[in-house]
Amino acid sequence: MPTSTPTTRVALVTGGSGGIGAALAQRLATDGYAVAVHYAGNRAKADDLVAGITSTGGRAIAVGGDVADEVAMTAAFDEVESTFGGLDVVVHTAGVMVLGPVADYGLDDFDRMVRTNLRGTFVVAQQATRRVRSGGAIVLFSTSVTRTQFPTYGPYVATKAAVEGLTLVLARELRGKDVTVNTVAPGPTATPLFLDGKDEQTVERLAQAVPLERLGQPVDIAETVAFLAGPARWVNGQTIFTNGGLA
């Protein structure tokens, strides 16, 4: 039996077990959403987050699966709907980043990024368009590097620029359904995905490139997503650069 009332808004956050995804799940739960925390490989982190949400009176479950596997994602979406009675918001944060210059880049790494970042986004977006109820929102993720064009980010940017293009089309394909589709493009944000492989000098240089002279925090990104998920009904088909003014 569903564990929510008909008026409860329900959100699924992919990649919700850590980094930006965890901050988003916590923020949406604070806003009163029933939240499904998706994980790919770290069930323990997802369970800990669910436990934290439920301990304060929220409602949450953990759902697993490879975002690029349509069978696994169908099952995950089914579980969310079965548990909570429907789905209003899908936030797709799951992704991988392997940096390197195009000339020397390994195609195995590129194929892995394409599978997760591009195919995974498409699979999740496809399920979301079939499931999200009227008045709902789909929020995808890109990167501010599609605009800043830092060297070594080329392969990663290639997978994320495609997400921005998909957003424009999908928003128009959902005409008449009262479902918004937007993409958030964070700047340098203090998450394991961003910090991995960077020395202290590189991190500081990137922080100073931002007019606010700091790295973003996951809660900064969560603020934007919470806006798009709820009150931002007139924002649609957009890429929001949440980056502290990084040019």
Catalytic annotation on 39? no
Strand, coil or helix: what is 87? coil
- Of the candidates 33, 39, 153, 156, the residue annotated as catalytic is 156
Give Dmax over CA atoms of the chain in angstroms. 54
CB under 8 Å to 150, separation ≥6 — which residues? none
Is residue 170 within 8 A of residue 129, CB to CB? The reply is yes
Distances (CA, A) of 7 to 4, 32, 84, 85, 218: 8, 11, 11, 10, 28
**Three-state helix/strand/coil letters over 145-213:** HHHHCCCCCHHHHHHHHHHHHHHHHHHHHCCCCCCEEEEEEECCECCHHHHCCCCHHHHHHHHHCCCCC
Smallest CA-to-CA distance from 184 within 226, 242, 135 is with: 242
216/219 Cα distance (integer angstroms): 8
Distances (CA, A) of 93 to 13, 77, 104, 175: 7, 16, 27, 24
Active site residues: 156
